[in-house]
A and B are shown apart, each in its own frame.
Chain A
Amino acid sequence: MKIKHTITDNTITISLDGELDASSSVLLDEELSNPSIMMFGKILVDCKNLNYISSAGLGVFISHLQRFEDAQIKLIFFNMQEKVRNVFEILGLDLLMTIVSSYEEAVTIAND
C-alpha cells in the first residue's frame, strides 16, 4: 500500500495505491489523524489504484467521517473501481459519503 498526497491551495488529494487491509489501514489512519489535515477545507481521495478495501480500511474512513463533517471539511472519493465501490454500496456508505467518477467532478463538487 502506498499513500501519496498532493496539495493545491485549500485541497489535499490523497491517492491510495494497492490494497487497504488491516495493516495498511494503520498508515492511512496516521495520515488522517495528522492535525495538519484539518487545515484543509477539502479532502479528495483518489481510489484509481485501490484494488481492495477491507473492513478495517472502511473503519478508518468511518471513524474520521464525523470529525470532518463537524469541521465542515468535505471528503470526496473519486476514480473508484467497480468492486471497491460495490463494497461501499453494500455497507450503505455511498449514501453517507460523496463518491464521484472523476477528478474534475470531485473538484467541481468540492468547490460548490
Chain B
Amino acid sequence: MPQDKTIKQVSFLTGSVSWVLLLVNVLFLARQGHMGEANAASPYLNNLLSVIFILSVFLYQRQYVQIQRSEEFTSPLWGLFVKGGLGAYLCLLLHLGYPGLNEHWVNSPYLLDIFYQVLFGLLVYFLGKAFYTWRQFILYHKTKEVQSQWKWFEILVYLSLLVPLLDVTYMNHVFLILDLALLLGYSLYMSVHQRWIAFLSLDKKWACIFLLTAILASVVLFANFLFLFADSSELVVDYTDNPFILIALAFVFLYALASLLVSLFSLPTSRVFEQRNADLLSFQRLSHTIQQGQSEDEVYKILFESAIKATGADAAWLEIGELTHLDTSHTSGDPIDSEVQMFVRALVKRIHEEDKTTLDSVYVNGDLNLIPGFQDLNSPYNSLLLVPLVSPKRRYGYLYLLLELEQGFDPDTISVVQSFANQTVLTIENLRLMQESLQNERYKEELKIASLVQDRLNPKTFPTDTWFDISTYSQAAKEVGGDFYDYLQLSKSRIAIIIGDVSGKGISAAFHMAQMKGIFHGLMQQDLLPDEFMVQANSALSRCLERTSFITSSLYIIDYEMQGVSFARAGHCHTLYYNSMIEDTFYFQTEGLGLGIVRDASYAKRIHRLHYDYNPNDVMVIYTDGIVEARNTRQDEYGEERLKYMLSQTYHLEAEDIKSAIINDVNDFSSDILHDDQTLLVIKFKQRQPII
C-alpha cells in the first residue's frame, strides 16, 4: 500500500534526523558542562528528540514487520538477531575498545557521550524490531481476545512515552511507579502467548532455541550497558529515566525467555505432534485421491505408506483378496521373509476359523515369540498388528504390520491405522461408484441410440391413399420396447399391415421385435395368406426365440378393390370393429395361438384366418395390450369394454381424431403412468374409388 510506504519513508527520515539532532544537542550540552558557557542546547530538547526518535523507529518497525501468516518462524528470529541483536555485540566491542581508544587515539571528553548515543540508537532499533517480531508471533493463529489484548498493550506502552515528554521524574510519583509495575505485569501476561511454538518441527525448535539464546544474550548485554552508565556523572543524559525503554526492554526480555523455556520444555513432545501432523496429512491424501482421479492401486499404496509411517513398522504387507498386493519391498524396504509371512498367515487363519466374528476386527499380538513354532523361525519380529479393510458390504483385504519391539502397538496408533483403513475403504468404494456411474452414463447413451433406432423401425407414415385413412400411435414404457407395427404394399390394391407385441420389455424385447419385422418383410414377399404367414413365422421364430419368450401378432391384408380384409390373430388382442351398415361396434372373436408357444408343425391347427367385407366408413381399431391393460391408481384395468364404448362414441370422426380421443381417454384413466408399451392403429375405410 502506498500509505504504508509513506509512513515508512517519513518515519525513517524523522528517525535519522532526530537521532543526529539528539547527538548534536547532547554534544552541546556536554560542551556546556565542560566549558561552563551557555549555548543553544537545552536538556528538555533531549527528551523531545529521544521521544521522536523512539516513535519513528517503532512506527517504522510496525510497518516493516508484517503479521505472520506462514509457518516460517526461524527467519524472523534470524533477522532480529542479525539486524538488531548484533548491535549489542558491537557495543561490547566499543566498550572493550573505549579505554584504549580514549587514551591513544582520540582522548576527547565527548567520546563517551557519542558512544552512549550510539548505544541508545542501536538499543531502540533492536527493541523496535524485537517488539514487532514478538507481535508477529503473538498474533499467529490469533483469536479476537488476543488481538484486542495486544492492541491495548501497544497503546499503554506508547502512553509511557508521555513521561519523558512531560519531563516528569517518575521515581517521584508513586502512582506512576505503580502504573509502570502493572504494565510490567501486563507484558509478563503477553509473554504467555506462545502458540507458534506448537507449529515448529523438532529441527526448527532447535534452531529457535539457538536463536532465542543469542537474542537473550543481546538483551542482557544491552541492559548491562544501559545500567552501567545510569546515573553516571560523566554523561549528560540518562535513558534509564525513560520508562518506555525499560518497559520495552522488559517485555522483549520476558517474551524471549518465555519462548526459550516453552521451546525447551516442548522438545520431548514435539515428536508426538509431528506424528499427528503426518497422520493428518496422510488422511488428507487418502481422501483427496478421488478428486485427483487416481486408481485403486494408488489408494492402496497411500494407505500402505501412511500406515508404515504411523506405526514405524519394521515389516508389512497388504493383502487384497488372497494375494499380497504390496509389501515393504515396494517402499524402499526389504521384502518380508516368506516363512514368517506364511506363519503369520496361518496364525491369522486359525484365529479367524476359531471365531468368525474376528474376521472384521483388528487383531494385535504383542508377543509373537510366545506362540509355539515362531521362535524356530529366528525372526526378529515380536509384535503383529492386523487391520482388516472392510465395509458393511464386503471385505477387501488385510493389512499386516510387524514390529521388532514387544507390545509395540499402542491403542492410539492402532486407532490411527484403523481410521486409515476405513478411509481407504470409503475412498475405494467412492472410486467404484464413480466408475459405475460413468459406465451407467455410457449405457444410457447407448440406450438412447437404441431408442432412436427403434423409433425409426416403426413407419411414421403410411401410403396416403384414397381408400382408407390410417392413424398410428406408439409409446414405449422404457427406452426401447417390444411393440411393433409395419406395413407392406403387396400390390396396387393390396396392403399388408402387421401389429405385434414381444413378451417382456426392454432390450431383449426390442431385439425380437426387430427380428419379427425382418421375418414379416421376408415372408410377405411371397404374398402369403395371413394364416400361412403365421405358421411360417412360428417355425422361423421357434429357432431363435428363447424358451420363455413368445410373440403375439395380428396380420391384416386389406384389398381395396375387393373391399375386403382378411386377417389372422396369433394370440394378439382382439380386433375392434365398427360396422357402419349395422351401426354396431364389436370385437372379432377369433381363435389363434401366440407365436413361439408351440414350436412344431401342430401350430398350423391353432391358427385361423377370417375374411370380412368392409363398408365405407367402417372403422378398424388394432392395438396392443398396453392399451387395454392400462391401469388407474386403484389397479383397475382400462379394459375392452371402455375401448369399445370410446369407438362407439367417436366412429364418425376422422381416423386421426378417433385415435386422439382414445389415447386421451386412456391417459386420463391411467393418470399418464405408462406400465407397458402402448400401440394403437385406427383405420377408417372410405368409398370405393376407381383405380386410375
Contacts and interface: CB of A to CB of B under 8 A. Distances in A.
A95 interface: yes
Interface string B571-606: 111100000000000000001111011110000001
A93 B570 CA distance: 11
Given A22-B504, A58-B550, A91 B593 contact: yes
Contact of B505 (A22, A65, A96): A22
Interface residues on A, range: 10 to 19
Contact of B548 (A56, A92, A93): A56
Interface string A29-60: 10000000000000000000001000110111
Contacts of B552: 90-91
B532 interface: no
Interface in B477-528: 501, 503-505
B201 interface: no
B469 interface: no
A57 B460 CA distance: 32
Given A56-B548, A62-B550, A63-B548, A92 B504 contact: no
Contacts of A91: 550, 552, 571, 593-594, 597
A46 to B, nearest CB: 21
A83 interface: yes
Nearest to B482: A55
A60 B504 CA distance: 11
A90 B572 CA distance: 7
Interface string B324-350: 000000000000000000000000000
B289 interface: no
Contact of A95 (B503, B504, B606): B606
A68 B505 CA distance: 27
Given A55-B504, A56-B504, A95 B593 contact: yes
B550 A92 contact: no
A83 B547 CA distance: 25
B637 interface: yes
A95 B591 contact: yes
B593 A59 contact: no
A65 B547 CA distance: 10
B549 interface: yes
B548 A60 contact: yes
Interface of B: 501, 503-505, 547-550, 552, 570-574, 591-594, 596-599, 606, 625, 635, 637
Given A62-B597, A83-B637, 17 more contacts: A22-B504, A51-B635, A55-B550, A58-B503, A59-B548, A59-B550, A60-B548, A90-B552, A90-B571, A90-B573, A91-B571, A92-B570, A92-B571, A92-B592, A93-B571, A93-B594, A95-B606
8 contacts: A59-B550, A66-B599, A91-B552, A91-B593, A92-B597, A93-B571, A93-B594, A95-B606
**Can you list the 3 inter-chain pairs with the closest CB atoms, starting with the nearest?**
A92-B593, A55-B503, A59-B548
